Structure 1
C-alpha cells in the first residue's frame, strides 16, 4: 500500500524492468531485506510453536504488540522498541502464569489482552502528530521500514537464531515428550521460559511486516504447512523457512502493485500453501488406500 493519494504502479510484461523499478526505491529494498529476516526467524520459532501446541501463546504475544507500538509512538520513540519491549514482557508474564492451572492462566491472559488492547487504542487517540491510524500497526505496511530498522531486526534475529540453535536439541526432546525429558534431566521449565522469550522477540519482528493481528501468517501457517508435508524435523523446518520467505516476498510484490494492506497478501499466500499441502496429503492418503494387487495374486486369478 503506497499511499491513499498515490496510484499503485502498473504491472507490465517487462518483468525485469518492473523488478528493477521496484528495487530502485530504497524503502522496497529495505522491505525485502526485513521481510527475509523476519520470515526466517518467524518460521524457525513458529515450527516449535506448532510442535509444542503454543499457538495461543503466540496469539497473546502478538496482541500486546499493538499497544506496545502505539505507546512507543506516543512517547516519541520508534515503534520497533515498543514492539520488542511489550512482546518480550508479555512472554515473561505467560511464562510466570504457566505455573498455575490452565483455567486461571487463560482467564488472566484474556483479561490482560483486553486491557492492553484498550490501552493501545487510547494511545492512538492521544497521539497528536501525523499518524495514519492503527491500520498500519494492525495489518502491516512496508513504507516505514528504514535501514536502521533492518539493522535492528538483523541483530535481534542473529541472537534469536543463535539461542534457538543452542537449545534446539533439548527443546525438541522436551517438546515431543516433556515427562521423559524431565526424567532424563532436561531442564524443561527453563527451556520453556527461554523459548517464550524467543517467541516474544520473533513475534515483535513478524508484527512489523504482517501487522499485529496477522502474525500467524508467518509464525504458524508455514510451520503447520511444513509439518503437514513431512514429519522429518530437519526437512520440515527447512520447508517452513522456504514457505515463509516465499509468502513474504510474494506479499511484498503484490502489495507494491495494489492499494491493499501487506498483511492481507502475506496471509493469503501462506494460507493458499497450507490448503495445497492439505489437499496433497489427502490425495496421498486416498491413493494409499487403493490396494495394488501383487504379482502372485494376479497369477492366482
Structure 2
C-alpha cells in the first residue's frame, strides 16, 4: 500500500511544496538515496550487459531473485539475503554453462528459470506470517526502506563499481572482440565470470527497489537507449547513468502520489525514453539519407 491509497498525499502542482512534503518523510529520503545507488550501479553494469549481448543472462538472474527472496522470508531471515544468495548462485551457474560449451545452454537455463519461479510461488504459499504476497517482491516498493538497508546498498554498490573500474578497460576490449582480446593475452574467460558475478550482485541490489521482474528493465533499457544515441563509450555510459537516475527518481515521485507499483513507473519512464531515442535515430538516419541522395543527384547533374 502506498500513501496515495491512504489519502495522505495529493499533488498540488506547487512543485517546491510537493517535494518538501515528500522529502519530509524519512522513508522517502531513504527511498531516493537507495534509488540513486541502484540507478548508477544498474546503468553501468547494464551497459556492459547490452554491449556483450547478455540480456538473456540478465533476465535469468533477475527472475531467480524472486524465489531467493521468497525462500528467505519462509526461512525467517531478511529477503536481502535471499536476493544476493540466489542471484550470485545463478550467475555462477550461467558462467559454468558458458565455460562448458553446452549447446543446450538456453534451453537448460529456461528450464531452471521456470522451476525456480514455481518454487518461489510455492514458498509464498507455504509462508504463514504477514506477507503482502508476491506483488511487492515482483514489482517493488519504496515503503520500508531503512537507513541500514541504504547503507548496505551503498557498500555493495561501491564494491561493484570499484571492481568494474578495475576490469572496465579489458572487459570493454573483450566485449567488442573477444578473439583478438584473447590473442593479446586478455583473460577473457576470467573476466566473463567476474562480470557475471557483478551482474548477480547488481541485480540483487536493484531488485529491492524495482522488484524482481522489472529490474531487468532498469538494467537494460537505459543502457540500450544510451547506445542508440552514441557509440562513444564514455558518453554512452554517462547517458545510461543519467537516464537510469531520471527514471528511478521520477518513478519514485509518481509512485508516491499513486496507488500503483513503483516498478511500473520506473519501467514506463525508461521505455518512453527508449522510444524517443529510437525515433530520433530513425529521423536522423532518414534526414541523412535524403541529404546524401540530394548530394549524389547534384554531383551527377554537374
Q: Normalising by structure 1, what TM-score?
A: 0.95
Contact persistence 1:42–1:206 (CA under 8 A): yes
SS in 2 for 1:220: helix
Q: Check conservation: 2:64, 2:90, Cα contact below 8 A.
A: yes
Matches within 5 A, 1:100-139: 100-101=100-101, 103-139=103-139
- 1:53 alignment counterpart: 53
- The aligned counterpart of 1:161 is 161
- Give 1:268's aligned residue: 268
1:171 equivalent in structure 2: 171
Structure-to-structure mapping, 1:62-73, within 5 angstroms = 62-73=62-73
**Runs of 4+ in structure 1 over 4 Å off:** none
Aligned to 2:40: 40
* CA shift digits 1:112-166 (9 cap, x unpaired): 1111111111111111111100000001100021111111100000000000000
SS at match of 2:110: helix
Indicate the residue corresponding to 1:253 in structure 2. 253
List runs of 5+ in structure 2 lacking aligned partners. none
User: More displaced, 75-84 or 176-185?
Assistant: 75-84
The answer to which of 139-148 and 33-42 deviates more is 139-148
- In 1, Cα distance between equivalents of 2:165 and 2:51: 16
Q: CA RMSD in A?
A: 1.6
Give yes or no for contact 1:8–1:258 (8 Å, CA) kept in 2: no
- Change in Cα spacing, 1:101 to 1:8, as seen in structure 2 (3 Å) is farther
Aligned partners of 1:6, 1:274: CA distance in 2, in Å?
33
Unaligned stretches of 5+ residues in structure 1: none
CA distance in 2, matches of 1:13, 1:240: 29
1:8 deviation in Å?
Answer: 5.6
Write the distance in 2 (CA, Å) between the matches of 1:101 and 1:50: 21
Equivalent residue for 2:87? 87
Q: How many residues align?
A: 298
- Residue 3 of structure 1 deviates from its aligned partner by 5.7
Q: Using structure 2 for the length normalisation, give the TM-score.
A: 0.95
Deviation per CA, 1:228-279: give whole Å up to 9, x if none.
0000000000000000000000000000000000000000000000000000
